[in-house]
Amino acid sequence: MPPIKRKAALACAFLASAGASPAFAQYADGVSGTMEAASEERRRGLSWSDGDPVLRGTLSVPVAEGLSLDGVAVSLWGSDRHGGADAVVDLGATYARQIGGWRLSAEGRYHLFPGSADQAYGEIGAGAAFLIGPASIDFNGSYAPRQSSIGGDNLYLSASATMGLPGTPLTISARIGRSSGDVQDPARAMRLRPDGTYWDYGVGVDYMKDRWFAGLRYADSSIAGPASRHAGASLIARIGLSL
């Protein structure tokens, strides 16, 4: 399929199958969904879309008390970071339990990269969140065991805070994270850690009204020099609709 037609087909597929984030659109049966467009796909301070706009769809389906199956699909349009992949599809499960004021969670994720061979990898994670009035404080950790596709292993630790502004449809947030790990293949390890161990950080504001939402996020990292391409300061906008 020619590149232009392939991109058009991918765009239609993302818009048709867009699903959801648990933060939005809680249905009576527990299934939640959104679709959105964003100016960039950036994770842990790194641009996964080479700075290009993306379409995103996610889906969360509860299967038992506290347990849900989750899927995320994001267009990448030939990402250099991920071997020319046209998209990333994240599949996994999340288990969460409320204990007193704490919400504890555990998850497993497998990341697939359609359009690129030998790029898939998996990781596991855990988190703890605590509500203080209108604010939520979150601590999370994710670990990707040693895999050839990422040139070693990868540990990501992060802390974030989110607060809804009383009387408004606005939510503000801030986060900081640290990536580290062992390296077996330096060239492949640059996918997730282009400058070795590094920090990323950012702040954001989100607007939610009825079924519509929009957001603006500033993201940056400690990565410097040649490795900082698509890892420096960025302002990311998004807009979407809960289904």
Q: Higher confidence at residue 46 or residue 7? A: 46
**pLDDT(9) > 90:** no
User: Which tens digits make up the pLDDT trace of 32-85?
Assistant: 999 999 999 999 999 999 999 999 999 999 999 999 999 999 999 999 999 999
Pairing state of beta strands 67-79 and 54-64? antiparallel
Q: Higher confidence at residue 11 or residue 62? A: 62
What's the pLDDT at 29?
64
In order, the DSSP letters of the chain are --HHHHHHHHHHHHHHH----TTS-B-TTS-EEEEEEES--EETTEESSTT--EEEEEEEEEEETTEEEEEEEEEEEEETTTTTEEEEEEEEEEEEEEETTEEEEEEEEEEE-TTSSS--EEEEEEEEEEEETTEEEEEEEEEEEEEGGGTEEEEEEEEEEEEE-TTSSEEEEEEEEEEE--BS-HHHHTTT-BTBSEEEEEEEEEEEETTEEEEEEEEEES--GGGGTTTS-EEEEEEEEE-
Percent of the chain with pLDDT over 90: 84
Alpha-carbon distances, residue 190 vs 151, 167, 205 (angstroms) = 8, 44, 30
**pLDDT(224) > 60:** yes
Burial class of residue 238 (count of CB atoms within 10 Å of its CB; 0-12, 13-18, 19+): buried
Question: How many angstroms separate the CA atoms of 126 and 105, rounded?
Answer: 6
